[in-house]
Amino acid sequence: MGKLVVVGISDQQIVSPTDTLITYALGSCVGICLYDYAQKIAGLSHIMLPEANSGLNKKETYKFANTAIEELVNTMERHSCKRYRLTAKIAGGANMFATSGKSIGERNVEMVKQELQRLRIRILAEDTGANYGRTVEFDPEDGSMVVKSVGKGHKVL
């Protein structure tokens, strides 16, 4: 077994077997796992907000769905991945607090889906919405994503 590579809030990482990606505390945030099955390279982005304004510094790029996903794709392509082989699994986007109108979690999920569609990356599975947080692990060996939630157990996507 390799190492567990932690992806923090507004962060992203890529790994290959035998390492595993993990991100904690996906409340309204969304974890986006991209995977190139031929290269067995996985990337994980933990976005916080749906949309950025212009003039971001490099670290802020990872905070927003409309900038982080494209940056993750570009990084994976620099590591021999092909965009046409990339698939996605997403989790998070919960409504953690009672709100009127669309919650930040809902808006995050919408923007993530919009960006993945724009980049022509197919979503294979998702565990989004509801009102509870999630932890996500992604294994590049087989492309599986495990979603763990307190009181909800875990699911393999």
Active-site residues, by number, are: 29
Q: How many residues does the chain have?
A: 157
In angstroms, the CA 148 to CA 98 distance is 23
In angstroms, the CA 6 to CA 107 distance is 25
Contacts of 71 (CB under 8 A, 6+ apart): 12, 45, 61, 62
